[in-house]
């Protein structure tokens, strides 16, 4: 029963109608998306703990944006303030917060009193790569499974509405799911309960949830009572509007401030956010010596789920080589934005009419125009755009390159060496010297693949090859992905093929998923990986799977380097996973 997860004082004051509405919302959500379905979705993917857990992303963001990080909130209204921004454009606001230097985003998902929805988390994820806190009245395990499935990095747990047993259970589940838990308190008794359960992230709310009255002295009174230890974070919440309001927070041991209404009502929310950050930085500089003694450097938080069999340890400090990621078969802006927000290096569009992922030129032009416009608005580079062609005429390929300004042409139809050479010449003659050619080669017949590479002169260093990268693909009856993973024998074939042209870029495609991409990278050490069906559910690109695939691929190389440094065994050296192994080339330059 849902009621079993609401604490003994849930019927007090202003919370009563909100919690009653929340119970009804939960019943409706369960009818549409039962918990067993959420669990199944999470089981299909490695979970937010693989590669870089949500808890690590969230706390790392607080650390890297200190001395006073700003968690910027997205909400349309509240019981205390009434309508704030009913017409709020979540994507535009999230992008503005990101550009202004927010450390993380807080997304209100309660619908009756705050005008939000669970799906708002996904909308924000498409617009920003910042960690996301699901802020809501979360009172039972279903809410956390839902948050994880929707891509949250952190969840709010309000001590005021939870009994100790329920709070303990939800904290354990959050750890299992790789979610950070912002444990919110308002008075000494609630703070004591949070400390007793060893909460990692403690939020001190200036707002009394019984009366909705805000008193900034609440944080000043409670912050000194929080025992500081490595890996613990303290967040100040509610009522902060001006630089003067936050100036003393770093000196109190506050690591972050959560601000919503003041930003949303400001004429220039980004400017207001920057003012708050600047005030926190100035205050942090004044109090740095004292804090250096009181708060030692914070280590990365590890979770129970982060030691699963496929888990990748977090990268060491400093730059590390990274395998590039291409998300292929994109057909709509939502999926392309999900890939872009996840950090994909390249986006692939299939121009093969017989593919179920086929995209016609007119639709591709609209999609690419929107992507480039969003990138310009954010001041960020657009991912590389790859057109996938199967036995298409030269004129068709050139027309697409000209119309879309493609960065890469990927040939996937066993095109002849003469065709490849001619296409390279035609691209150069048309002024597209920077448009690269990638050649897909199946690994099912190693001798034929070697012969094909030799015919194209790809093993020669004496003349520039017509292609800049080779994509080894486990092709089935039809060109493109068939969802079947590589076998160990086929990985060995890929490594042997690579020896024929080590100076080229090399990619891997075929049966890759979030859960196996790290093992594939360990076996082959490609320069890039290419995925399509492996990040789909029922034939549609899934934002959560896309994000997990990108994170796992990007973290895999750092994991291999860490592993090799710790112990480089003979087996690792033979498999090409030791320090002497290949470092990824830049395949997009």
Dihedral (CA of 33, 34, 40, 45) sign: positive
Measured CA to CA, the distance from residue 75 to residue 120 in angstroms comes to: 10
Residue 34's alpha-carbon distances to 20, 29, 42, 430, 579, in angstroms, are 20, 7, 13, 55, 47
Closest CA to 497 of 546, 562, 540, 453: 453
Helices 15-32 and 141-149, interaxial angle, to 10°? Answer: 60
Residue 258 has φ and ψ, to the nearest 5°, of -100, 120
Concatenate the DSSP letters of all residues of 498-533 into one string.
Answer: HTT-TTSEEEEESS--TTTHHHHHHHH--SEEEESG
Q: How many CB atoms lie within 10 A of CB 467?
A: 26
Measured CA to CA, the distance from residue 42 to residue 46 in angstroms comes to: 7
**Catalytically annotated residue among 128, 205, 355, 532:** 205
**Catalytically annotated residue among 50, 65, 73, 106:** 73
Closest CA to 385 of 402, 404, 399, 366: 404
Catalytic-residue membership of 188 = no
**Catalytically annotated residue among 50, 75, 110, 261:** 75
Q: How many CB atoms lie within 10 A of CB 317?
A: 7
Evaluate whether 178 touches 152 at the Cβ level (below 8 Å): no
**Catalytically annotated residue among 140, 190, 237, 536:** 237
Catalytic-residue membership of 516 = no
**Catalytically annotated residue among 140, 184, 561, 572:** 184
Contacts of 254 (CB under 8 A, 6+ apart): 68, 204, 219, 223, 234, 235, 236
The 10 Å CB-count burial string (b at 16+, else e) for 489-502 is: ebbbbbbebbeebe
Q: Where are the beta strands (DSSP E) in 412-510?
A: 436-442, 469-473, 505-509
Measured CA to CA, the distance from residue 26 to residue 24 in angstroms comes to: 5
Evaluate whether 138 touches 111 at the Cβ level (below 8 Å): no
Catalytic-residue membership of 65 = no
Residue 318: CA atoms inside 13 Å, Cβ hemisphere, count? Answer: 3
**Catalytically annotated residue among 135, 326, 541, 563:** 135
Catalytic-residue membership of 489 = no
Measured CA to CA, the distance from residue 295 to residue 203 in angstroms comes to: 17
**Catalytically annotated residue among 50, 111, 206, 238:** 238
Concatenate the DSSP letters of all residues of 194-260 into one string.
Answer: HHHTT-SEEEEESB-TTT--B-THHHHHHGGGSPP-TT-EEEEES---SHHHHTTTGGGT--EEEE-
Evaluate whether 497 touches 472 at the Cβ level (below 8 Å): yes
Closest CA to 472 of 507, 436, 524: 507
Catalytic-residue membership of 238 = yes
Catalytic-residue membership of 552 = no
Residue 482 has φ and ψ, to the nearest 5°, of -125, 5
Catalytic-residue membership of 30 = no
Active site residues: 73, 75, 135, 184, 205, 237-238
């Amino acid at each position: 029963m849902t009621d079993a997860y609401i604490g003994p004082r849930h019927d007090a004051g202003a919370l009563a109608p909100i919690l009653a509405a929340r119970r009804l919302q939960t019943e409706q959500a369960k009818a549409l998306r039962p918990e067993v379905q959420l669990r199944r979705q999470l089981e299909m993917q490695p979970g937010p703990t693989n590669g870089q857990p949500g808890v690590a992303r969230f706390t790392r963001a607080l650390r890297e944006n200190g001395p006073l990080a700003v968690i910027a909130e997205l909400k349309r209204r509240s019981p205390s303030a009434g309508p704030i921004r009913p017409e709020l454009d979540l994507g535009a606001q999230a992008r503005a917060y990101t550009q202004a230097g927010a450390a993380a985003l807080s997304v209100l998902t309660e619908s009756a009193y705050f005008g939000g929805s669970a799906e708002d988390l996904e909308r924000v994820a498409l617009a920003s790569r910042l960690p996301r806190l699901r802020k809501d009245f979360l009172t039972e395990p279903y809410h956390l499974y839902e948050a994880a499935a929707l891509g949250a990095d952190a969840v709010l747990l309000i001590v005021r509405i939870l009994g100790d047993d329920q709070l303990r259970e939800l904290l354990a589940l959050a750890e299992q799911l790789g979610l950070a838990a912002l444990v919110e308190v308002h008075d000494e008794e609630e703070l004591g309960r949070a400390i007793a359960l060893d909460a990692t992230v403690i939020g001190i709310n200036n707002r009394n949830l019984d009366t909705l009255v805000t008193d900034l002295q609440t944080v000043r009174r409670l912050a000194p009572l929080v025992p500081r230890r490595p890996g613990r974070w303290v967040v100040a919440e509610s009522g902060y509007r001006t630089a003067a309001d936050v100036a003393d927070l770093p000196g109190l041991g506050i690591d972050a401030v959560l601000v919503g209404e003041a930003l949303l009502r400001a004429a220039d929310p980004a400017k207001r956010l920057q003012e708050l950050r600047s005030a926190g930085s100035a205050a942090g500089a004044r109090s740095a010596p004292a804090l250096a003694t009181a708060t030692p450097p914070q280590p990365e938080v590890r979770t129970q789920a982060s030691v699963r069999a496929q888990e990748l340890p977090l990268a060491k400090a400093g730059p590390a080589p990274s395998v590039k990621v291409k998300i292929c078969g994109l057909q709509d802006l939502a999926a392309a934005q999900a890939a872009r927000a996840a950090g994909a290096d390249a986006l692939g569009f299939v121009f093969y009419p017989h593919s179920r992922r086929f995209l016609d030129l007119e639709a591709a032009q609209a999609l690419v125009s929107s992507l480039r416009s969003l990138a310009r608005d954010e001041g960020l580079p657009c991912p590389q755009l790859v057109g996938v062609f199967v036995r298409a005429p030269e004129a068709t390929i050139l027309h697409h390159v000209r119309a879309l300004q493609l960065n890469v042409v990927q040939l996937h139809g066993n095109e002849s060496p003469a065709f490849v050479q001619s296409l390279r010449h035609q691209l150069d003659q048309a002024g597209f010297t920077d448009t690269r050619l990638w050649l897909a080669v199946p690994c099912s017949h190693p001798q034929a693949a070697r012969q094909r590479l030799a015919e194209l002169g790809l093993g020669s260093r004496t003349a520039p090859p017509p292609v800049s990268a080779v994509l080894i693909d486990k092709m089935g009856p039809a060109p493109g992905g068939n969802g079947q993973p590589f076998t160990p024998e086929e990985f060995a074939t890929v490594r042997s093929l690579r020896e024929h042209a080590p100076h080229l870029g090399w990619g891997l495609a075929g049966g890759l998923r979030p859960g196996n991409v790290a093992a594939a990278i360990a076996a082959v050490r490609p320069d890039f990986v290419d995925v399509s069906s492996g990040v789909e559910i029922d034939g549609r690109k899934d934002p959560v799977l896309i994000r997990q695939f990108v994170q796992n691929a990007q973290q895999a190389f750092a994991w291999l380097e860490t592993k090799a440094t710790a112990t480089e065994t003979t087996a690792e050296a033979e498999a090409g996973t030791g320090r002497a192994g290949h470092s990824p080339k830049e395949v997009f330059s």
